[in-house]
Amino acid sequence: MIDDLIYFSNDAVTSKVLLNVGQEVIAVVEENKVSNGLKAIRVEAVSDKWEDDNRNSSKGLSDSSPRVLIGCVTSMLEGAGYISQTTYFSLESVCEGFHPCKGDWVEAEYWIRPGTWSSEAISVKPLRYKRVDKVCISSLCGRNGVIEDSIFFSLDSLKLPEGYTPRRHDIVNAVVVESSQSCYIWRALCMTPVKRW
């Protein structure tokens, strides 16, 4: 029932979306000449979840709620980036303490902009991360290095304690994220020295 006055069946609902009690709808209504009752012959759900705050009908979208995307960061711009080449994100949507780099695997909540059909992430976090303790810096070449022959790091994106510069054979603790970096599948986010050689 709509407003406790207008009867409708599921067949009248466009896009076959499930409606909730209290949800706003737009209806095309006709009067039953015999019973003098009202019946909706077409019902469309109204959504106000888009950021532009316009009242839009579903227009073929079966669900306007955020979706989950697992993908790889394919490019980074100043203050923003793209996941899987198609989903835009701003650094403001990234979880605290994580600065994504090209190659990082992430989990993002995103939505599709009506009209343009472009997707935009509203939250981005690392897909997998872990802490590694008492591991050795196995190589260092210019501004890039490797921990334990398996974890890539770049001094351009690595968080370090003030005054510490990593050297080969240093024993360190690190927080790493899953990332496709050449032949490595982990990238160090931050590192602290345990012992220097």
Give the end of a domain, one of 126, 142, 172: 126
Residues 155 and 137 reside in one and the same domain: yes
Rounded to an integer, what distance in angstroms lies between the CA atom of residue 87 and that of residue 75? 10
Rounded to an integer, what distance in angstroms lies between the CA atom of residue 36 and that of residue 30? 10
Give the end of a domain, one of 84, 108, 126: 126
| Least-confidence region, from 5-9, 66-70, 161-165, 190-194 | 5-9
β-bridge mates for residue 195, sequence order: 171
Residues 117 and 77 reside in one and the same domain: yes
Q: Is residue 1 included in any domain, yes or no?
A: no
Where in the sequence is the domain holding 13, given as residue range(s)? 6-57
Residues 155 and 103 reside in one and the same domain: no
pLDDT attached to residue 57: 41
Q: What is the DSSP letter of 127?
A: S
| Domain count within the chain | 3
Residues 112 and 162 reside in one and the same domain: no
Q: Is residue 152 included in any domain, yes or no?
A: yes
DSSP-assigned states of every residue in 57-122 = E-TT-S--S-EEEEEEEEEEETTEEEETTTEEEEGGGBPTT----TTBEEEEEEEE-TTT--EEEE
In percent, the amount of the chain with pLDDT more than 70 equals 88
